């Protein structure tokens, strides 16, 4: 933006009207160059973000710090690491001084060398090592403007770095338009929000830049500008001399956005033709490469008018050009004719050595469809998909379709884009429109694998049904030739069919899937073949398959392709192989706007081990985030999976109100669509809820509705998880022989060899059915084994069952330690009904326990109290998070610490519990 400053006695430029904000930045900078830190400045266009960053950069430079600067470009958002390249290029000569692994990672990411893209954590570690090296002599401040236009790869790296600056003399100062969102994690840096200037500050700024305005004109400008600094500076520039002095009237209306844009366009249109053409290259190309910046910044005569007009700032020593405000860049592009834009893109394509960048510019320079360019764009889309950038992949495929001559090929690209959008990127609603476009280009595309898979995904999440989607995909797979060139499409269609079979919940749906996988096996990747076996029918996993899976899981640490991560994770879901770190990366990228559907699946699979391992607050947060993503993006089918761990948690805590609402919603949606897995899904939940409430016959009925005890039917995945649940329900309801039959069946299936947890559950089930003269020998090794504490919920139930049997045998003293441990384990989990069962059994041994409500609520922290009060009003975790600037996960974690403290199990009980707490606090 135009200059907004004055000068003090020492020659330092001050930011007029932003004294408070500048003081806050000064405080931040002083701390950052000593101990590290990050700061995000946000505000509407024209609020002075760039000017504040300029002033901060000058100030910290005067403190002796080195300053590196970069800014985002809306035309560079698809270029990975473009801003990181711009930011670090001035110090690239120092790269050889880093260890080779760090040097290579940075050199590859910055495009200085060719090689496999580095993993994100490796790149972050390398960047931190470089920053540590650069600060060996003096502090460093990184300044990044226009964060909303910074490419995603750079933003994610900067977000991760921002969290790791503690202890380094490095400051990270960023600015972003408030009406935009970026992939930067807002929790990584505190925000300094620029609000409109008050009347006194606005008048001071206006007088500084336009001292000759008549007072009436000043008031009119102040009224129209609304405290926007850029408008205060720019609006008067369009006035005539007569208008400035009040000798002529002002237009009756001056809409801020229209007037500002018009003002910029007039300033840009007044430049000579060569200047405008040069600015157009800069606007479209940004800082795509050193060669480009030299071409632009090195043209002094043609840039002089733009510099004189205050549109750009040129640093000739660094060969860099910077627009003084983003609207100038937009105006330059808007004012250019279509032929001028094409010519600029053609020139940019010649200037770059990056094939992806060249393809994108060639696409924009094309006059008519061009298959050669379209093929190049497909390669760009494939590369984007492999990086996990599903949104860019869809965008580039659509542009490739526009450039494709053959209607059938164009339809195929549109169908491909529809599939990626529906199944990965989260653009489910747009998939139908893309499929319609594809069919309009070539009606035969409707029978292709990709179109069928996209249509099936849309059907499943709209008004379609399981059987129609199943028939659609089975037919497409039967008609598809086993051509190696269609391998990717085959696997995508099979992946969708696998989910259809899973949610269909009927064994007959699986047979065509199994036959197709067998027939097409040579064309399928090893991870998918493994997933097709282990996810579909985990009970029949072989030792060889599990060893192969372990090797694949071990290789995910450096994997950047989210599709591969989720595929391997699905293979391990029911056999206890959870690559949590890799899944966390997928979830974070999807939540930041990447592959939304994959992020949901990642959250689902992260919540499962969290529940198994007793990290129940984390379980709730992960599940809530997954549910919110599903609801925001229309993924009604995936919401089941997101609900699974959340409902298990509610069942273990007897939150009957939540269970009733969730069950009704799921059945209402699923049953009309023939998604009969909902019955198995909810039966498992209802079985645990009945156990929690002591309704043992109901628990037995719920579990046996899934399958008879003593059997593990094919494709009933959940039976792997419910070994101990089913046995406990049978034992407590008096069906001991059936329980023993189930223990034998689990042993015959070899489930104990799948994982340590499943071994524990099998051994625990065997202890539950042990004869009266042998049960201590079965229980003791389990309850005393150190590794058993990894699974606190089943361990607590085992301690409770052991203590109850000892008490029934009149071994009161022996029973007490086990029951006391059960009470503690259940209480720590917030499983209040189970804790009460254990306390009742403990009292029956002769131990007197104080009522746990004596100090009810006393341990609530102020933030827990605030969150509890908001939740009591009916706000969701996401709504509470927005109000308090917390993530939904953090809100959930606080609430699930609150529930056991208040001795409640549901949100519905919060209001009464808080009221009771207030009454006790008011009692003298």
Q: In what order do the strands lie in the sheet with 170-177?
A: 66-71, 140-145, 170-177, 37-43, 191-194
Contact 264, 327 (CB under 8 A): yes
Give the torsion sign (CA, 916, 917, 922, 924). positive
8 A C-beta contact, residue 594 and residue 120: no
Question: DSSP secondary structure string, 272-297?
Answer: -HHHHHHHHHHHHHTTS-HHHHHHHH
**What distance in Å separates the CA atoms of residue 553 and residue 547, rounded to the nearest whole number?**
10
Q: Report the pLDDT value the prediction gives residue 850, as an integer from 0 to 100.
A: 45
Altogether, the residues listed in the chain come to a count of 924
58-88 residues labelled b (16+ CB within 10 A) or e (exposed): ebbeeeebbbbbbbbbebbbbbbbbbbbbbb
| Lowest mean pLDDT, pick from 191-205, 208-222, 571-585 | 208-222
Backbone angles phi, psi at 848, to 5 degrees: -95, 130
Give dist(CA 144, CA 917) in Å, integer: 49
E-strand ranges in 298-453 read 312-315, 320-323
Half-sphere exposure at residue 857, Cβ-oriented, CA atoms within 13 angstroms: 18
More confident position, 125 or 700: 700
User: Nearest 5 degrees, angle CA 413-CA 417-CA 421?
Assistant: 170
Q: What is the average per-residue pLDDT within 537-548?
A: 94
- pLDDT, tens digit, for every residue of 660-687? 988 988 888 888 888 888 899 899 999 9
To the nearest whole percent, how much of the chain has pLDDT over 70? 85
pLDDT at 5 over 60: no
Q: How many CA atoms lie within 13 A of 365 on its CB side?
A: 18
The answer to whether the predicted template modeling score (pTM) of the entire model surpasses 0.75 is no
Q: Which two tokens stand for residue 185?
A: 């994690």
* Contact residues for 748 (Cβ-Cβ < 8 A; gap 6+): none
| CB of 816 closer than 8 Å to CB of 800 | no
Q: Please list the residues that pair with 4 across neighbouring strands.
A: none
- State the burial class of residue 281 (Cβ atoms within 10 Å of its Cβ: 0-12, 13-18, 19+): buried
Helix ranges, 63-173 (H)? 82-88, 100-109, 120-134, 152-162
At 543 the pLDDT is 93
User: What percent of the chain has a predicted confidence (pLDDT) above 90?
Assistant: 29
pLDDT of residue 795: 96
Check if the beta carbon of residue 345 is closer than 8 Å to that of residue 333.
no
**Residue 2 pLDDT exceeds 50:** no
Beta bridge partners of 321: 314
pLDDT at 856 over 60: no
DSSP 341: H
Mean pLDDT on 908-924: 65
Cα–Cα distance for residue pair 658/628, rounded to 1 Å: 16
Q: Are 730 and 706 in contact (CB under 8 A)?
A: no
In degrees and rounded to multiples of 5, residue 709 shows phi and psi of -65, 145
Tokens 């609402």: give the residue: 661
Average pLDDT over residues 839-844: 92
DSSP helix/strand/coil, 779: helix
Give the Cα separation of 810 and 803 in Å (integer).
Answer: 10
Higher pLDDT, 221 or 766: 766
Least confident range from 705-714, 853-862, 913-922: namely 853-862
Q: 218 with 207: CB under 8 angstroms?
A: yes
Long-range contacts, stretch 532-535, CB < 8 angstroms, 24+ apart: 532/494, 532/498, 533/571, 534/571, 534/572, 534/574, 534/575, 535/498, 535/502, 535/570, 535/571, 535/573, 535/574, 535/717
Question: How many other C-beta atoms can be found within 10 angstroms of the C-beta atom of residue 355?
Answer: 12
- 8-state DSSP, 423: I
153 pLDDT higher than 80: yes
Least confident of 54-63, 337-346, 448-457, 508-517: 448-457
User: Lowest-confidence range among 57-61, 255-259, 381-385, 655-659?
Assistant: 255-259
Burial class of 300 by CB neighbour count within 10 A (0 to 12, 13 to 18, 19+): exposed
pLDDT above 60 (res 242):
no
How do residues 75-118 score in pLDDT, each as one tens digit? 777 777 888 888 888 888 888 888 888 888 888 888 888 777 77
C-alpha to C-alpha distance for 607 and 251, rounded to whole angstroms: 60
246 φψ region: left (φ > 0), alpha (ψ -120 to 50), beta (else): left
CA distances, 610 to each of 358, 579, 584 (Å): 46, 12, 13
Which residue bears the tokens 């609801």? Answer: 631
How far apart (Å, rounded) are the C-alpha atoms in residues 352 and 381? 19
Task: For residue range 439-494, list pLDDT tens digits in order.
Answer: 888 887 777 777 777 777 777 666 668 888 888 888 888 875 555 556 777 888 88
For residues 574 and 605, is the Cβ–Cβ distance under 8 A? no
Q: DSSP label at 196? A: P
Quickly state the pLDDT bin for 196 (edges 50, 70, 90): confident
Q: What is the pLDDT of residue 416?
A: 82
Position 598 pLDDT exceeds 50: yes
Mean pLDDT score of the chain, rounded to an integer?
82
Mean pLDDT value of segment 34-50: 86
* Residue among 205, 687, 184, 635 nearest 431 (CA): 635
Question: For 7-21, 180-194, 395-409, 531-545, which range has the lowest pLDDT when averaged over its residues?
Answer: 7-21
- Separation CA 224–CA 196 (nearest Å): 12
State the pLDDT at residue 609: 94
Dihedral sign computed on CA atoms, order 738, 744, 749, 751: positive
Residue-level pLDDT at 251: 47
d(C-alpha 855, C-alpha 68), whole Å:
56
**Cα–Cα distance between 367 and 373 in angstroms, integer?**
11
Q: 17: Cβ–Cβ under 8 A, 6 or more apart, which residues? A: 4, 48, 197, 198, 201, 202, 204, 205, 229
The 3-class secondary structure across 700-749, one letter per residue, is HHHHHCCCCCCCCCCCCHHHHCCHHHHHHHHHHCCCHHHHHHHHHHHHHH
């Amino acid at each position: 933006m135009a200059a907004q400053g004055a000068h003090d006695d020492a020659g330092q430029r001050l930011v007029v009207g932003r004294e408070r904000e500048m003081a806050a930045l000064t405080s931040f900078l002083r701390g950052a160059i000593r101990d590290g830190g990050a700061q995000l400045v946000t505000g509407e266009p024209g609020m002075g973000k760039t000017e504040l960053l300029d002033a901060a950069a000058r100030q910290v430079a005067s403190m002796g710090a080195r300053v590196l600067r970069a800014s985002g470009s809306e035309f560079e958002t698809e270029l990975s690491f473009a801003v990181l390249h711009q930011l670090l290029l001035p110090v690239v000569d120092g790269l050889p001084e880093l260890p080779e692994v760090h040097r290579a990672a940075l050199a590859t990411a910055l495009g200085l060398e060719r090689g496999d893209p580095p993993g994100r954590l490796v790149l972050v570690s390398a960047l931190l090592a470089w920053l540590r090296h650069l600060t060996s002599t003096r502090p460093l401040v990184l300044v990044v403007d226009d964060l909303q236009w910074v490419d995603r790869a750079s933003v994610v790296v900067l977000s991760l770095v921002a969290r790791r600056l503690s202890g380094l003399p490095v400051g990270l100062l960023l600015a972003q338009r408030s009406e935009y969102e970026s992939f930067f994690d807002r929790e990584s840096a505190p925000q300094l929000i620029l609000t409109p200037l008050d009347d006194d500050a606005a008048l001071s700024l206006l007088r500084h830049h336009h001292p000759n305005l008549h007072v009436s004109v000043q008031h009119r400008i102040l009224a129209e500008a609304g405290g926007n600094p850029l408008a205060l500076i720019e609006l008067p520039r369009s006035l005539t001399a007569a208008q400035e002095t009040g000798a002529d009237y002002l237009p009756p209306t001056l809409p801020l956005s229209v007037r500002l844009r018009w003002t910029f366009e007039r300033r840009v249109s007044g430049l000579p033709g060569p200047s405008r053409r040069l600015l157009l290259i800069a606007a479209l190309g940004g800082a795509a490469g050193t060669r480009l910046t030299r071409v632009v910044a090195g043209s002094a005569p043609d840039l002089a008018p733009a510099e004189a007009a205050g549109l750009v700032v040129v640093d000739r020593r660094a060969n860099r050009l910077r627009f003084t405000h983003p609207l100038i860049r937009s105006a330059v592009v808007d004012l250019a004719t279509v032929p001028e834009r094409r010519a600029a893109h053609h020139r940019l394509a010649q200037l770059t050595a990056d094939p992806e960048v060249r393809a994108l510019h060639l696409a924009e320079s094309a006059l008519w469809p061009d298959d050669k360019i379209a093929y190049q764009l497909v390669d760009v889309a494939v590369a984007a998909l492999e990086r996990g950038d599903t949104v860019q992949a869809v965008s580039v495929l659509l542009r490739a379709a526009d450039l494709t001559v053959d209607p059938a090929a164009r339809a195929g690209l549109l169908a491909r884009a529809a599939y990626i959008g529906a199944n990965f990127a989260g653009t489910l609603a747009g998939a139908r429109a893309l499929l319609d476009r594809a069919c309009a280009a070539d009606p035969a595309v409707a029978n292709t694998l990709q179109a069928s898979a996209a249509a099936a995904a849309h059907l499943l999440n709209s008004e379609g049904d399981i059987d129609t989607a199943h028939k659609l995909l089975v037919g497409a797979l039967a008609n598809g030739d086993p051509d190696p060139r269609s391998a990717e499409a085959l696997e995508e269609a099979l992946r969708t069919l696998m989910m259809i079979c899973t949610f269909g919940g009927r064994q007959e749906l699986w047979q065509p899937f199994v036959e197709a996988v067998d027939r097409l096996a040579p064309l399928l990747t090893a991870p998918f073949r493994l997933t097709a076996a282990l996810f579909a029918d985990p009970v029949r996993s072989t030792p060889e398959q599990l060893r192969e899976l372990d090797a694949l899981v071990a290789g995910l640490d450096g994997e950047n392709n989210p599709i591969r991560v989720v595929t391997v994770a699905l293979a391990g879901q029911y056999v206890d192989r959870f690559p949590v770190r890799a899944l966390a990366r997928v979830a974070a990228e999807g939540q930041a706007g990447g592959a939304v559907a994959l992020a949901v699946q990642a959250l689902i699979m992260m919540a499962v081990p969290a529940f198994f391992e007793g990290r129940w607050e984390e379980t709730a947060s992960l599940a809530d985030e997954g549910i919110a993503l599903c609801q925001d993006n229309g993924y009604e089918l995936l919401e089941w999976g997101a609900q699974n761990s959340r409902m298990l948690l509610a069942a273990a805590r007897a939150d009957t109100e939540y269970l009733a609402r969730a069950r009704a919603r799921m059945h209402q949606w699923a049953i009309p669509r023939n998604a009969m897995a909902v019955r198995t899904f909810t039966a498992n939940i209802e079985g645990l809820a009945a156990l929690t409430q002591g309704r043992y016959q109901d628990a037995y009925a719920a579990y046996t509705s899934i399958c008879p005890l003593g059997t593990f039917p094919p494709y009933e995945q959940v039976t792997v998880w419910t070994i101990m649940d089913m046995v406990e329900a049978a034992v407590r309801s008096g069906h001991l022989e059936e329980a023993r039959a189930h223990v034998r069946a689990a042993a015959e299936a070899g489930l104990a060899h799948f994982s340590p947890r499943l071994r524990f559950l099998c051994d625990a089930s065997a202890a539950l059915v042990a004869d009266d003269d042998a049960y201590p020998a079965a229980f003791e090794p389990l309850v005393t084994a150190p590794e058993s504490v990894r699974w606190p919920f089943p361990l607590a139930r085992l301690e409770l069952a052991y203590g109850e049997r000892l008490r029934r045998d009149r071994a009161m003293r022996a029973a007490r330690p086990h029951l006391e441990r059960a009470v503690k384990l259940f209480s720590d989990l917030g499983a209040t009904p189970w804790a009460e069962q254990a306390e009742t059994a403990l009292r029956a041994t002769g131990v007197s326990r104080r009522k746990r409500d004596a100090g009810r609520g006393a341990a609530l922290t102020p933030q827990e109290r605030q969150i509890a009060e908001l939740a009591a009003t009916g706000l969701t975790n996401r709504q509470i998070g927005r109000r308090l600037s917390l993530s939904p996960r953090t809100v959930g974690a606080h609430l699930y610490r609150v529930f056991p403290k208040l001795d409640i199990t549901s949100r519905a009980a919060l209001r009464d519990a808080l009221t009771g707490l207030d009454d006790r606090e008011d009692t003298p």
